[in-house]
Amino acid sequence: MRSIEHFIDGKFVAPANAEYFDKRSPVDGSVIARVGEGKQADVDAAVQAARRAMESDWGKFTTEKRVELLYAVATEINRRFEDFVEAEMADTGQPRHVMEHVFIPRGAANFRIFADVVKNVPTEAFRMATPDGRGALNYAIRVPKGVVAVVCPWNAPFLLMTWKLGPALACGNAVVVKPSEETPATATLLGEVMNKVGIPPGVYNVVNGFGPGSAGEFLTMHPGVDAITFTGETRTGTAIMKAAAEGIRDVSFELGGKNAGIVFADADFDAAVDGIFRSAFLNTGQVCLGTERVYVERPIFDRFVQALKARVEKVRYGRPQDKANDYGPLISHEHRQKVLSYYRRAVEEGAEVVTGGGIPELPPELAEGAWVQPTIWTGLPETASVVREEIFGPCCHIRPFDGEDEVVALANDTEYGLSTTVWTTNLARAHRIAERIDVGITWINSWFLRDLRTPFGGSKHSGIGREGGVHSLEFYTETRNVCIKL
């Protein structure tokens, strides 16, 4: 059985206290790795290594040199593409096609995209008048923020980690990554890539472990960390924000969502069914941008419910390597307990279970995995807990509506504000709805489609700040002004 160690100062190192925990496969429950648990000493070593890197070669590199290295990182990831696919499949249990076509290619692309952004970002300059008539010139420069703590989720671990690493490293920062305890493999594998292409020791560090009382808490509270970026649930974000207040450190958060999907009667019906199916059930519903609330205009409501039901009941369970498989397990038994508790609560609150609602029948070799059925409900009021609270599982509640004003009010009636998806062939309506929905991103007749140069983030309890293109640079750099008297 393999052991997964920390990656600190360019080396793989065992945990200082020699403590390990088991990483289990979500597919069949078997132990697939022993993972070192980071404590204070490990975090101290990683932060110190990052600070040394900022003060030595890495801090002196030109933008052109950093860009060249990040291109090399992307190339090496693609050269070892199959290794990353296998590592992420083992950790998450999700189907091969999701890894091959979405998560791993996007992870590699993040390094190239942000290298290009930093290489081409403009600066501003202003000529100003002075009393003596000679004037002065003001111009802005960007400098790295320093040591950045990158706290990662487990649902799309490589993609979401590199979405932060790309701009952080392109801007000249050093990082300490805390992967989820559920998905440590690709963060560790990336350490091999960093060494291979010549990223200096200490620029990229990984400390494995848990949150409270473990690597996550020690990292976010560490006085040597200059900024913290986190993707995950809102409650964890709140705890990190409290830790960041000590020392007035910057934070960037992409947090929870209870996203609405809106289907008008004039929509391309088949495209809307396929789109809602994908947004509700891709990655077994473990997507922050996923759709857990669906509102369908009344004339097509019954037809839509039955069509989505038929689509859901065609999913195929199996190991991620099986090309016929299009549906994976939840990440863990602990998370399955949470999701199943909502399945039970929906029935208690009076839901009609259209399909699913439990654990599927599986062959013996998969019986110990964290599997649940994809589930659809109808008939609940907006006050029901499964309509209000983020479940983060393969489920959605469908409700009819009768007009634009009603559905906008329903979509906005949430403490979250991450995303929505709208299905209509009426372009004027699409623009009206997009302007009125209080979310960070609205998709029209699509989902999970975005130019990576555009701003991404949530409103309300769904996050702080924006990521993507030049918008990421606002977090990963400090802007300074230089004023020259002429």
Model confidence at 421, pLDDT cuts 50, 70, 90, reads very high
Question: Length of the chain in residues, anyone?
Answer: 486
Q: Tell me the average pLDDT across 224-248.
A: 95
**pLDDT for residue 323:** 83
Specify whether 254 is catalytic: yes
**pLDDT for residue 294:** 98
Q: What is the chain's mean pLDDT, rounded? A: 97
Q: Per-residue pLDDT for 105 more than 80?
A: yes
Q: Tell me the average pLDDT across 458-483.
A: 96
Query: pLDDT tens digit string along 61-74?
Result: 999 999 999 999 99
- Sign, Cα dihedral of 379, 384, 387, 390: negative
Q: Is 446 exposed, middle or buried (0-12, 13-18, 19+ CB in 10 A)?
A: middle
**pLDDT for residue 485:** 96
Q: Is residue 404 within 8 Å of residue 432, measured between CB atoms? A: yes
Q: Is residue 401 within 8 Å of residue 297, measured between CB atoms? A: yes
**Packing angle of the helix pair 63-79, 104-120 (nearest 10 deg):** 170
Q: Is residue 27 within 8 Å of residue 366, measured between CB atoms? A: yes
Interior angle at CA 322, CA 319 and CA 325, nearest 5 = 80
CB atoms within 10 A of CB 324: 7
Query: pLDDT tens digit string along 88-101?
Result: 999 999 999 999 99
Q: Tell me the average pLDDT across 10-25.
A: 96
pTM as predicted? 0.96
Q: Tell me the average pLDDT across 385-403.
A: 98
Specify whether 288 is catalytic: yes
Model confidence at 142, pLDDT cuts 50, 70, 90, reads very high
Q: Is residue 438 within 8 Å of residue 459, measured between CB atoms? A: yes
Q: Which superfamily, per CATH, for 259-451?
A: Aldehyde Dehydrogenase; Chain A, domain 2 (3.40.309.10)
Q: Choose, from 171, 288, 395, 396, the residue flagged as catalytic.
A: 288
Interior angle at CA 397, CA 395 and CA 402, nearest 5 = 150
**pLDDT for residue 112:** 97
Distance CA 8, CA 43 (A): 9
DSSP 200: P
From its phi and psi, is residue 198 left (phi > 0), alpha (psi between -120 and 50) or beta? Answer: left
Q: Choose, from 181, 254, 292, 297, the residue flagged as catalytic.
A: 254
SS3 123: coil
Residue found by looking up tokens 């496969």 in the block: 25
Q: Tell me the average pLDDT across 347-358.
A: 98
Q: Is residue 445 within 8 Å of residue 268, measured between CB atoms? A: yes
- What b/e readout covers 270-299, taking b as 16+ CB neighbours within 10 angstroms? eebbebbbbbbbbbbbbbbbbbbbbbbbee
Distance CA 11, CA 202 (A): 9
**pLDDT for residue 235:** 92
Tokens standing for residue 246: 């000590």
Tokens standing for residue 311: 């689509």
The domain ranges of the chain are 2-255+462-485, 259-451
**pLDDT for residue 454:** 94
Q: Tell me the average pLDDT across 350-361.
A: 97
Query: pLDDT tens digit string along 155-174?
Result: 999 999 999 999 999 999 99
Q: Per-residue pLDDT for 1 more than 80?
A: no
Model confidence at 57, pLDDT cuts 50, 70, 90, reads confident
Q: In the chain, how many H helices and how many E strands?
A: 17, 23
Query: pLDDT tens digit string along 292-321?
Result: 999 999 999 999 999 999 999 999 999 999
**pLDDT for residue 324:** 83
Query: pLDDT tens digit string along 362-393?
Result: 999 999 999 999 999 999 999 999 999 999 99
Residue found by looking up tokens 């609330």 in the block: 293
Q: Tell me the average pLDDT across 236-241.
A: 95
Model confidence at 325, pLDDT cuts 50, 70, 90, reads confident
Pairing of strands 395-401, 375-378: parallel
Q: Per-residue pLDDT for 258 more than 90?
A: yes
Q: Per-residue pLDDT for 192 more than 90?
A: yes
Q: Tell me the average pLDDT across 216-221.
A: 97
**pLDDT for residue 140:** 96
User: Domain 2-255+462-485 carries which CATH code?
Assistant: 3.40.605.10
